[in-house]
Amino acid sequence: MKRINVLHFGAGNIGRGVILPIYQQNDFSIDLVELNQNTVNELQKQKQYQVHYLDCDQSQLVNDFNTWNLKDEAKIIELMERADVISTSIGAKNLASLKTLFDKAKFHKRAIVLCFENGFRISSNFKNILQLNNTQVNFVDVVIDTIAPNFEKKANFLDIYCEKYSEIYAETFPLEIKGVNQKNSLDRFIIKKLLLVNALHSVIGLLGFQQKLKYVHETLQVKSNLTFVEKLAQQIIDALCAEYPEFNKNNLLSYGKNNLVRFANPKIQDLNTRLIREPLRKLNQNERFYAIYKLFKKNKIALNNILQVYLMVLKTNITDDTESQQIAKLINEKAWTELAKLSSLEESEWNLIKQELSREITKK
């Protein structure tokens, strides 16, 4: 039987730790594309690596793949043209860099595109970026929920440390992939994951960073932090149930509680700084914090906690994060009109944030 050809862009934690193990489990023919030459060299040399699971005493050997450098354009286009599945885990903001390859590739058969990225309907957004005329390419939206941190203590450069726990949902497409659950509609799964995983995770990172705590699990060991996150989670669940009657409240409560247990796992050693980068993206209207704000506003849920989160986002100053530095510069320049636009908050709520930021400047 002919093997399914898959081409995956991105040899980072999600690519190596989650996506390739799934493809290997399905006995797919795997081609992995990566831009970092050092990573490519090591993968081509060692031809295997281990995935170590941090929520159980298990590991998995991944050794059935070929590796290519993204700069090898002719070869990548050849692989794209014969692929049954093309997938990504390179970061949503980097997808536009693949446009040239997609423009040059001639798709003579049906190809499925799966973007395993954080965010709202990223595959659909990618389709809009590419504007392909070829109807052979089927863009399928995906939701992926697993924690794959930048683990510091590694015996082997290539090895990945992540959760074995993984939930992946995709809208229905004409290929069965073990490990990927297909649904007719993803809306509920997207919003549930965006708010009760991505948003809460980021909030913990913000709290920890402000308190000069290094890891997520350390942050949750502070009682006041756990209390704040639990209250926000309860508000989110109330809002989701009000907005989507098909949600079961007890199931959401269990889901939220389980996520906090996952985040509190000390073996994961998840850096708070990993979770709070790219603050401008996180304030986008298609992103986590605005989604919560909009839901709370519509369903008349108190805004004090989510506004506190907005304030933390704007005050977080990470020296090596471009977006964070951009916000810090605007605050120092008192560029309130531009900051108000970036926040997307309504005037009454923005004025509360502005007052707090002004106080911070005065203190300096």
Task: Assign residue 94 the CATH number of its domain.
Answer: 3.40.50.720
Nearest CA to 350 among 335, 329, 364? 335
Is the same domain home to 264 and 285?
yes
Average pLDDT, the chain: 95
Q: Examine the fold and report which residue of 183, 215, 238 is the final residue of a domain before the chain moves on.
A: 183
How far is C-alpha 140 from the geometric centre of its chain's CA atoms?
Answer: 16
Which contacts qualify for 330-337: CB closer than 8 Å, 24 or more apart? 331/357, 331/360, 331/361, 332/361, 334/358, 334/361
**Tokens 């957004």 map to which residue?**
125
Mean pLDDT of 268-281: 94
Report the number of distinct structural domains present in the chain: 2
Q: Which CATH number belongs to the domain containing residue 355 in this structure?
A: 1.10.1040.10
Residues 130 and 221 in one domain: no
Same domain, 28 and 144: yes
Same domain, 243 and 192: yes
pLDDT value, residue 119: 83
Domain match, 174 and 214 both: no
Task: Print the domain residue range for 134.
Answer: 5-183
Residue 155 pLDDT greater than 80, yes or no: no
pLDDT of residue 135: 80
CA–CA distance, 8 with 15 (Å, rounded to integer): 8
The pTM is what?
A: 0.89
Residue 137 and residue 25 share a domain: yes
Q: Last residue of a domain, which of 166, 183, 200?
A: 183
pLDDT tens-place string over residues 63-86: 999 999 999 999 999 999 999 999
Segment 49-71 mean pLDDT: 96
Both structure tokens of 39: 């990573």
Provide the pLDDT confidence category of residue 308 given band limits of 50, 70 and 90: very high
pLDDT at 19 > cutoff 80 = yes
For helices 249-263 and 223-243, angle between their N-to-C axes, nearest 10 degrees? 150
Q: Is residue 30 located within the same domain as residue 132?
A: yes
The pLDDT of residue 37: 97
Q: Are residues 196 and 219 in the same domain?
A: yes
Angle 355-336-307 (CA atoms, 0-180°, nearest 5)?
A: 50
Give dist(CA 129, CA 276) in Å, integer.
26
Whether the per-residue pLDDT at 364 is higher than 80: the answer is: no
Percent of the residues in the chain that have a pLDDT greater than 90, as a whole number: 90
pLDDT at 153: 67
Same domain, 112 and 194: no
Binding-site positions: 6-17
Reported as a pLDDT band with limits 50, 70 and 90, residue 120 is confident
Give the mean model confidence (pLDDT) for residues 37-57: 96
**At 100, which helix (H) or strand (E)?**
helix 99-104
The verdict on 275 and 153 lying in the same domain is no
Answer whether residue 249 shows pLDDT above 80. Answer: yes
Which positions make up the binding site for NAD(+)? 6-17
Looking up tokens 């839901």 gives 295
Which of 137, 155, 183 finishes a domain? 183
Rounded mean pLDDT, 306-313: 98
pLDDT tier for residue 328 given thresholds of 50, 70 and 90: very high
**Residue 241 shares a structural domain with residue 333:** yes
Residue 219: band (very low, low, confident or very high) from pLDDT cuts 50, 70, 90: very high
Check residue 36 and give its pLDDT: 97
215 and 277 together in one domain? yes
- What's the mean pLDDT in 232-256? 97
pLDDT cut 70: percent of the chain above it:
99
